[in-house]
Structure 1
Amino acid sequence: MAQDVKIKRALISVTDKTGVVEFAKALQEDYGVEVISTGGTARALVEGGVPVTPIEEFTGFPEMMDGRVKTLHPKVHGGLLARRDSEQHMAEAAEHDIKMIDLVCVNLYEFEKTVAKPDVTFADAIEHIDIGGPSMLRSAAKNNDSVTVVCDPADYEKVLEEMRVHDGSTTLATRRRLAAKVYTTTAAYDTAISLWLNDYLGGQDAAVEGGDAFEPPAEFSLHLTKVQDLRYGENPHQSAAVYQFGEDFAPFGASANPLVGATQIQGKPLSYNNLLDADAAWNAVREFDEPACVILKHQNPCGSAVASDVTKAYDRAFACDPKSAFGGIIAVNREVPYELVEHFADQNKQFVEVLIAPGYTQAALDRLAKRTNLRVLATGGAEGHAKLELRSVDGGMLVQCVDTVDEDPTEFTCPTIRKPTDKEMTDLLFAWRVVKTVKSNAILVAKNEAGIGMGPGQPNRVDSALMACERAEEACERMGISADNLVAASDAFFPFRDNVDVLAEHGVTAIIQPGGSVRDDESIKACDDHGIAMIFTGTRHFRH
C-alpha cells in the first residue's frame, strides 16, 4: 500500500466554482498535472487560463441526454477504482486503454437550494439531483489508497500545501480523511433528496385526502454540524455541544428564523440550559401575531402577555410573576426598543439570562451593552415553525410533527348553558395559545390577555389547577386588580368535575379545554352548576 501518491491526472467538475480556477492552475503549473473537466467547469478553467482535456475526449464518448450522461463511463470509474498494486487491475486497464485518475475534485448540484425556492417545480428539482458527481466521489473515496478526493473548496489549499511538502504527492492519512468527508457529504445529499421527495409525496397525498402534509420516512440520516462546544451540559459534570442541522434536514427541523443560527450580539457563551429555555421561550412567543412577550423559567412561561407594543407586553408579562422572572429568559416577537430595555434593566432591575428577539434598535443595543454578561440574540424575524421535532431516547430517536395545528375558533363548541362573553373569549383564546407551551399537566389562568397563574407539570390536574389559581390570586393582589372573571385553559380534557370545582372556587368564569373525556358530561354539569362557560376545542396540547 502506497503511503504517498503523486498526482499526475485530475478530474475536476464542480457546481460551486469558488477557488477552483486557482486550484486547477496550481495543479497544472506547479506540478504538471493533466486536468480533465466537464461542461461549465471546463469553460471556467479555460477562461481562467488552465488547459483542460474535455471529458468527451478523455472517454471517447460524447456528453448526452442534456448532460445526464457524461462521466458515467468505464474510463472514468476504471481510472478511479483500479487498484494500483493489483497486476490484474493494471493489466485490464491497459487492455481497455483506461488511464489512472489520481485526484477527483467534485462538488454536487445544489439540490437543497433548488428545492428551498418557493416556486420550484417537481421537474426542476429532479434535474438538480446529481448522479455522476456522487458516483465519482464514492469511487474515488473507496479507492483512497491511491486517489485523492476533494469535495469541499475549503480543502483546496490544504491539498496544495501537502503537495508542496511531499513533492507533488498526498499522504494516506489525508486521503482517508478526505474520503470520510465524501461519505458524510453524499449521505447528507441523499438524505436531502429522500426527505424532500417524501415531503412532496406527503403533500400530494394530503391534497387528495386532506391529511397531514408530512409523513415521516421509514429511514433518514441526520447531518449535523457542530456550532460550538458548551462549557457543560445540564450539570457541570456533563460534557455538551450544540449542533446545527445540515441543509438536508433544515427545511424540516428548523423554522425560517431558528434559535440555532441566530446572531449573538453580546454576552457570555450560551449554556446548555440557556439554549433549552431560549428555544422554549422563542417558540412560545411566536404563537402570537400581535406584539407579545414571554418570560420563561425552567421551560415554563412564568409571564406572558400581549399588548399594543412589546414594551407594554413586557410590563404586563413581568407583572404576572416578578419573583419567577428573576434569572429568566425574555422573548419578544417584535424589534426591541430602548424603552423595553430601560424597563427591565433600570425600572425592574431584572436579572436576565437571555434576551431573544427579531432585532434591536441601536439605542436598545447601546443600553444593553452596559450589561456585558447578558446574552442578546437576534433572529432576524419571527416567522414560522419547524415541521419536525426530535428527542433522543435510550436506543433511538422520537420524531414527531411540531404542534402547529391550525385551529379555527369558529369551529370550537360550547356545551354549557352560559356562553362566554366577548372579553372572556378574547382571554380564552390568549390562554389557549399559552397553555400549549406549559409543561403538562398544564393549567393556565389568564385575565386581560396576560397569563397570571400557571400550574405546570403536576402528576394530577387538580394540583395544577390549585397552583395556577393560587398564583393568579397573588398576581391580582400584586397588580391591584380583582381576582374574579378569570379564565382558565387546560392542555387536555378534565377527567373529573373536581377540576371545574377548584377553578370555580377561585373566581374562574370561563374555561377552554379540548374535551373528549368519557366524563365530559360531569364537567359540563359542574360548569352549569357554577354558571361557568366552557369551550371545547377538540385538540389536545400536551407538552411533556
Structure 2
Amino acid sequence: MNKYALISVADKTGIETLAMELERMGFTILSTSHTADYLKQFCQKVVLVSDLTGFPEILEGRVKTLHPVIYAGILADRNNPAHAKTLSELKIEHIDVIAVNLYPFASVCWKENATEQEIIENIDIGGPALIRAGAKNYKSVTVLVDPVDYANALELLKQNSILPEKFSSYLAQKAFAKTRDYDAEIAAYFASQGIEESITNELPAQLEFAISLKRKLRYGENPHQNGGFYAKVTSGWELIHGKELSFNNIMDIDSAFRAIRLFGKPTAIIIKHCNPCGIGSDETLAEAYRKAYETDTEAPFGGIVIVNRPLDLETATLINNIFTEIIIAPAFEPGVLEFLKKKKNRRLIRYEFSLLEKPLNPIEIKTLTSGYLAQDWDLVNESTENWKIVTNKQPAPEELEALIYAWKAVSVLKSNAIAIAKKDSVLGLGCGQTSRIDAVQLALWKAKKFGHDLTDSVCASDGFFPFRDCIDTLAKNGISAIIQPGGSKNDAECISACNELNIAMVFTGFRHFKH
C-alpha cells in the first residue's frame, strides 16, 4: 500500500528538499500540474492528482483536488475500523503529508493596475479545503503551510511515521490561522470596494482584521514591550536604505503620511512624536523645507522629514545639515540617494503618493483594554463652500488662503490643538493640551521663541473656543483672522469679541479632534 505526500504550492521555497526527503522515506509524491512539473526535476516519481483520481483538472485549473479520493485519503480516521473498511472497498489510499500554501491573493490584490479578473482568479478554493482537512485530522496527517516548518517535520518523521502530538497540534494551529488570515484578506478586499457601506451606510457588523505579521520589531514603544508590524503585502511604502525601523518610527511615518496628503503645493513637513513641528510650502521644495525648519529650529533634530515631490539635491543638502532620522519622499532625483546614503544609520523611504488619497484599511480601529473602537476615517476633505464667515470683518483673499493652510495643519495635531500660520508656512503650534487657552499660549510662545512676526497671521483651532479669553490673547499678539468649528454655547460671545477687536472669524462646521 502506497503512502502519499500531497504537495501543491504557490510559494515553492524549499519544496524540492522536502519532496526529495519524503521520497527517500518511502512516500509517493502526489501533486498538481504546475508544482508537479517543478518537482519532476528532483524526484524519481511524481504522481498527478488527476492520475490518482481518474478525473482531469478542469475549468482552467479551478478544479484540481476537489475529489472524494483525495479528501477520504486525508480525513479517514486511522483508528476507526469502519473508515479503514470504506477505504479498502473503494481502493482509496492514505495521504499522510500535505504541503500546501495558497494563491498569492493579497500581493495580487494590492498590486498596482491589477484587474478584477486577476484578483478573483487568485482566490484559492482547493488549497484552503486541503489545509483544513489535514488540520482536522492532525493526529494522523502532517499539514505544512509554512516552509519554516519543513526541516523540523522531516526530522521528526524520520524518527517516527507519526508526529508527536505537541508538534502536530502546533502545525494544525498554523494551518487554521493560515486559512483564517487568507479569508480575512479576501473579505478586506471586498470591504475596500465599499459594498457594505454603500448598501447599509453603517460600520460592519463584525470586525475582521486578521493580518499577517510583516516583521517582528526589536521592541514596542519601550524596550520592555514586544512589538510587531502587521500589514497587507503592499503598504504603499518601502524602506530603501538604513537600519530596521522601530515601533515608534513606524508610528511617526504613518503620521507623516496623514499630514502630507493634505497639501498640494511643494511641501515639507517635519514630524516628532507623531506631531508636526514644522510645515512649509513654496514653489520649490528647498524653500518649502526652509520654512518648515524655521517653524521651530530646535525640534527637527532627530526628527522625520516628508516631502510631496521628488527629493532634489538642494533640498537634501539642507535636510542633511542636522541629524534627521528618516527622510520620506515619493522619489529621489539622480545623485540624491548616493548623497544621503553616506550616513548609514539614516533611513530613507520611498512612498506612492496616490495611495495616500484613501487609506487601504476601510475603517480606523483603536485598541482598548476591554475591546475596540472603530470609526470612519477623518479625511479632512470637507468643502470650503459650506464655511461661514460669522464676523463683520471679512477675511482678505490672502487671509483666507492662510486660514485654509492653518486648518489643514491643525487637523493633524493632537488635541487640544492650535496652529498659527501664514498662507504657506506654520509659525507656531500648540498641541496635546488639556485646555484650549493653554494650546493658544503654547503656540504663541513657540512662535515668539523662534522669532516669527505674527502681524497679520491667522489662527486655526481644531475644536471650538469655549470662552473669549482665547480671542483676547490672540488679538494682543497680532492675529488678524481665526478659523474654528463653532458649536459652543459661547459662540456669540466669541463672535462679539472678534467684532470688538476687528478680527475675522470663520466657522467650518467640522471638528478635527485627534485624541
Deviation at 1:84, TM superposition (A): 2.1
Taking every aligned residue pair, what percent have the same amino acid on both sides? 38
Q: Secondary structure at the match of 2:95?
A: coil
Which of 380, 387, 398 aligns to 1:423? It is: 398
Give the match for residue 498 of structure 1.
Answer: 469
2:332 & 2:112 partners in 1: Cα distance?
Answer: 28
Contact 2:270/2:300 (8 A) holds in 1: yes
State the shift of 1:60 in Å: 4.8
In the alignment of these two chains, the number of paired residues is 511
What letter is aligned with 1:229? L
Work out which of the residue numbers 434, 449, 452 in structure 1 matches 2:409: 434
1:7–1:102: 8 Å Cα contact kept in structure 2?
no
Q: Secondary structure of the equivalent of 2:442?
A: helix
Contact 1:427/1:449 (<8 A) preserved:
yes
8 Å contact kept, 2:140–2:162:
no
- In structure 2, what is the equivalent of residue 3 of structure 1? none
1:324 aligns with 2:299: yes
Aligned to 2:106: 112
1:193 pairs, out of 174, 186, 192, with 186
Mapped partners of 1:112, 1:181: distance in 2: 18
| Partner in structure 1 of residue 371 of structure 2 | 396
Contact 1:198 1:217 in 2 (8 A): no
Instruction: Work out which of the residue numbers 147, 172, 175 in structure 2 matches 1:179.
Output: 172
**What aligned pairs does 1:475-514 form with structure 2 within 5 A after superposition?**
475=450, 478-479=451-452, 482-514=453-485
- Deviation at 1:101? 0.5
User: For the residues of structure 2 that align with 1:239 and 1:501, how far apart are their CA atoms?
Assistant: 45
The answer for the alignment partner of 1:59 in structure 2 is: 53
For residue 353 of structure 2, give the secondary structure of its aligned residue in structure 1.
coil
Among candidates 59, 65, 73, match of residue 71 of structure 1:
65
Task: Tell me, in whole angstroms, the C-alpha distance in 2 between the residues paired with 1:266 and 1:124.
Answer: 35
Residue pair 2:217, 2:246 contacting (<8 A) in 1 also: no
What CA deviation, in whole Å up to 9, does each residue of 1:30-85 have, x standing for no partner? 34532333455456656988644443443355656665555333322221122323
CA contact (8 A) 1:10 1:102 kept: yes
1:314 equivalenced with 2:289 (yes/no): yes
Conserved 8 A contact 1:222-1:245: no
What is the CA deviation profile of residues 329-364 of structure 1, one whole-angstrom value per residue up to 9, with x for unaligned ones? 322233333333433444xxx343333333445644
Equivalent residues of 2:405, 2:422 under 8 A apart: no
Deviation track 1:219-263 (CA, whole Å, cap 9, x = no partner) reads 314223152332x44444x2232323244xx6xxx4x23xxxx31
- In 1: Cα distance, 2:375 partner to 2:422 partner: 33
Structure 1 unmatched ranges of 5 or more:
1-5
CA distance in 2, matches of 1:125, 1:281: 30
Question: Mind listing any 5+ residue stretches in structure 2 that lack a counterpart?
Answer: none
> Partner letter of residue 189 of structure 2?
W
Q: Give the drift of 1:491.
A: 0.9
1:34–1:53 CA contact under 8 A, matched in 2:
yes
CA distance in 1 between partners of 2:389 and 2:84 (Å): 81
Kindly provide the amino acid, as one letter, of the partner of residue 406 in structure 2. Answer: A
Residue 147 (structure 1) aligns with: 141
Contact 2:463–2:485 (CA under 8 A) maintained in structure 1: yes
**Would you say 1:227 and 2:198 are equivalent positions?**
no
1:12 to 2:7 alignment: yes
Give the Cα separation in 1 of the matches to 2:20 and 2:299.
63
Would you say the 8 A contact 2:380–2:411 is kept in 1? no
Paired position in structure 2 for 1:357: 329
The answer to whether the 8 Å contact 2:380/2:408 transfers is no
What is the TM-score when the length of structure 2 is the normalising length?
Answer: 0.86
What is the Cα deviation at residue 161 of structure 1?
6.3
The answer as to whether partners of 1:7 and 1:103 remain within 8 angstroms in 2 is: no
Per the alignment, in what secondary structure is the counterpart of residue 459 of structure 2?
A: strand
Q: 1:406 to 1:531 in 2, by over 3 A?
A: same
Give TM-score scaled by structure 1 length. 0.82
Q: Tell me how far apart the structure 2 counterparts of residues 24 and 326 of structure 1 sit (CA, whole Å).
A: 54
- Counterpart pick for 1:99 among 87, 93, 98: 93
d(CA) in 1 for partners of 2:120 and 2:90? Answer: 34
Q: CA deviation at 1:191?
A: 0.8
Tell me, yes or no, if the aligned pair for 2:410 and 2:419 is still in contact at 8 Å: yes
Q: Distance in 2 between matches of 1:329 and 1:54?
A: 55
Alignment of 1:65-464 (within 5 A): 69-116=63-110, 126=120, 128-153=122-147, 166=159, 175-200=168-193, 202-203=194-195, 205-206=197-198, 215-225=203-213, 227-230=215-218, 232-236=219-223, 238-247=224-233, 254=235, 256-257=236-237, 262-263=238-239, 265-266=241-242, 269-346=244-321, 350-361=322-333, 363-373=335-345, 375-385=346-356, 386=359, 387=361, 388-464=363-439
TM superposition shift of 1:438: 0.9
- Three-state SS of the structure 2 residue aligned to 1:354 is strand
Secondary structure class of the residue paired with 1:318:
helix
Moved more, 13-22 or 417-426: 13-22
Report the Cα distance in structure 2 between the residues aligned to 1:117 and 1:328, rounded to whole angstroms. Answer: 31
